[in-house]
Structure 1
Amino acid sequence: MYWAIIINRFCKFSGTILKGFTYIIYFIFPELRFTIPKVSKAKINSKMQTCIPKIIWQTNYTNKVTLPVYINYLFNRLMSLDWEYRYVSTEDRHHFIRENAPKNYVEAFEQLTDGAAQADFWRLFILNYIGGVYMDIDAHVVLPLSNIIKPEYKELILMTKHKYSNYFMASSKDNKYLVKTLELVVENIENKRIGNGVYDLTGPTALNKAIGDELVNHRHNKITCIQGSFTNEYFQYLDKPKGKWTHAKKEDLLKD
């Protein structure tokens, strides 16, 4: 825990300096982009057997990203050298669900118009179907991933304050909590229960409702995975202004 807090604070401090410097870079070179690979194999072979497959999943509207987002990716790769990394595009998310999900899941997914809501749905499905670790594109771990994910873990859910979050999720396949969350999300979409927006429709509200009062393996975000150290909304959505889910109008989240 001590080292996690130290790394947490170091990342926030160095990230603040990075972002300040990068504003200058992008004032001079506004088209500068870096490519996150679709697949990055593990750099170190590990013989340790784990319940959770050693795959990191991330998605975004593009893998052509600004320097802060790319540095965030590099930091995660440094902290997960014995893990495989997979980036999945908007189109590939849709294709995977269409090819592997039951009909009502596909129909529900195709009703979603917002990229973040689609990513919420996809992360639940891919972790339950294949397993691994999902992280938002602006999130990074604060310890080596294999120190966080123990071999015996069947899931690890992130806790922020007193609620579970979905910006970092780890699971083996066929997880009852993910299945229940997916079912709630599909019900929300089918019944147009949008609530206060993406957060309620497909996000953490459904996850917390699915888990309820059951005991689930969890870990606090401050010693696990945090967001926004190296990047921010400006750099993440430089090519898609107002693209963050917080700007989406509730009435536009589902197709008519």
Structure 2
Amino acid sequence: MNTLLRMVSNRFIRLVGNLVKVVSYPFHFLMHDLRFTIPEFSKAKLKSKNASAIPKVIWQTNYSSRCTLPIYVNYLFNRLMSLDYDYRYVSTESRELYMKEYASSDAYYAYYAYLKLNDGAAQADLWRMVNLYNNGGVYMDIDATLVWPISLILKEKYDALYIKYKKNDAEFTNFFLATTAKNTHYKSVINKIVFNINGYKGLKKKGVYNTTGPAVLNEILDGQEVHSLRRGYVCIQGAFTNEYFQYLDKPRGKWTHKHEDDVVKC
């Protein structure tokens, strides 16, 4: 029954999201310069009744907190689905400061590798892993949408939760991540990303996806027993927004437009 309700919720969210997108085209045509602001911090509105080993905080980042209507509606909907969670938005500038302070030790020198990245999405890939390794919590891409209240998804027994992306459930994604701090898999992912960046010229498969993105996560998790769910039951992408609205102020800013030779400063 719970699975059925989640799928119904998934379909309903996509329907509402499509309506938001349809309305947003004429809205931003008429209000071309109007933007909304995602707050840096939003305190939990409710006291949670559900225990969770994973810290109750949601982390997000983007190239700017000033956003279009669909992105803002998506943010508001996710807050509705996470009323018992704190919310933190981290800017591009704050990401770099965080990496400098917490990821420049002998442990993995991730900060110095981070400085070699020319792409914001690649930087966010590395930052999310370092941040979650240090602090724990839930990371979601700015275009990700929860399909069910997050406190009902993250059971007390979970020390981490991953979602499967492909239809055949053969691939993990990193647009949603939930973990306790000091997850050893995350440490391995960080080390592998740093290795890829420092040895970028010699990589057989380059680009954001293979260097810092889901390919690294899948390599580390291959053969490992972890808690996972299909994305349709947890979190989906593009329900309320699309590339046009996400990058209205940064045309062709999505990582898919970055040539593989330009991802890392060699």
- Alignment TM-score, normalising by the size of structure 2: 0.94
CA change 1:215–1:249 in 2 (3 A) is: same
Alignment of 1:88-237 (within 5 A): 88-103=90-105, 104-161=109-166, 162-192=170-200, 193=203, 195-237=205-247
Separation (CA, whole Å) in 2 of partners of 1:49 and 1:214: 25
Contact 1:194 1:201 in 2 (8 A): no
Q: Secondary structure in 2 aligned to 1:164?
A: coil
RMSD between superposed Cα atoms in Å: 1.1
CA change 1:194–1:239 in 2 (3 A) is: farther
Contact 1:135 1:168 in 2 (8 A): yes
Q: Extract structure 1 runs of 4+ deviating beyond 3 A.
A: none
Contact 1:194 1:200 in 2 (8 A): no
Separation (CA, whole Å) in 2 of partners of 1:13 and 1:142: 12
Separation (CA, whole Å) in 1 of partners of 2:263 and 2:12: 37
- Corresponding position of 2:48: 46
Separation (CA, whole Å) in 2 of partners of 1:17 and 1:236: 16
Q: Secondary structure in 1 aligned to 2:174?
A: strand
Count of aligned pairs:
256
Report the residue type matching 2:210 in the other structure.
D
Separation (CA, whole Å) in 2 of partners of 1:178 and 1:210: 9
- Corresponding position of 1:27: 29
- Corresponding position of 1:57: 59
Separation (CA, whole Å) in 2 of partners of 1:166 and 1:197: 16
Separation (CA, whole Å) in 2 of partners of 1:211 and 1:13: 34
Contact 1:165 1:204 in 2 (8 A): yes
Report the residue type matching 2:153 in the other structure.
I
For structure 1, the 5+ residue unaligned runs are none
CA shift digits 1:65-100 (9 cap, x unpaired) = 000000000000000000000000001011001001
- Corresponding position of 1:66: 68
- Alignment TM-score, normalising by the size of structure 1: 0.98
